[in-house]
A = this chain, B = another copy of it.
């Protein structure tokens, strides 16, 4: 089995790169990203090193994209959009919409209005599959931290 090796390009470098390309200078990008300009400089340098290509022409007036930089920016913009899209898709798929939803509820609340509200939600959204689980608070918390359930309904103060 041949394993594919991916180049060590980090998304932080890419977003930094796009910001500099838009801003037209390192220190303006630094202000936009609320960072020091040294951090910007190092990130771009590292990116250029892993690519083996200069992305910007450094001038006293600022930083302009090279030919390779233009080419790269064009694709990176699309990629970052797709990353955001993938994140949103995963979130939507994970929480509801064709997914499961494991809800834990402490026994003392299971007779109150929360339960009836959940029942109403289930009636209106039949495609959402919800599992209700009634037990005591401490066990709910451990199951939540172990990712056995997605949501808990409890009363009182947060523990930690």
Interface of A is mostly: helix
Contacts A71-B89, A89-B75, A99-B67; A94 near B9 (Cβ below 8 A): no
Q: In the complex, which residues of chain B have a beta carbon less than 8 angstroms from the beta carbon of A99?
A: 66-68
Sample of 4 more A-B contacts, CB < 8 Å, known A6-B84, A72-B87? A6-B11, A7-B84, A52-B95, A66-B99
Please give the residue numbers on chain A whose beta carbons come within 8 Å of chain B beta carbons, in ascending order: 3, 6-12, 15, 32, 48, 51-55, 58, 66-72, 75-76, 78-80, 82-87, 89-91, 93-95, 98-100, 147, 150
Q: In the complex, which residues of chain B have a beta carbon less than 8 angstroms from the beta carbon of A91?
A: 51-53, 68
The residue on B at minimum CB distance from A85 is B75
Q: Are A90 and B72 in contact (CB under 8 A)?
A: yes
Cβ contact of A147, chosen from B9, B58, B78, cutoff 8 A: B58
4 A-B pairs closest in CB distance: A53-B94, A68-B94, A75-B86, A72-B90
Distance, CA A83 to CA B91, complexed state (A)? 22
Q: In the complex, which residues of chain B have a beta carbon less than 8 angstroms from the beta carbon of A94?
A: 51-54, 66-68
Distance, CA A52 to CA B8, complexed state (A)? 25
Q: Are A82 and B84 in contact (CB under 8 A)?
A: no
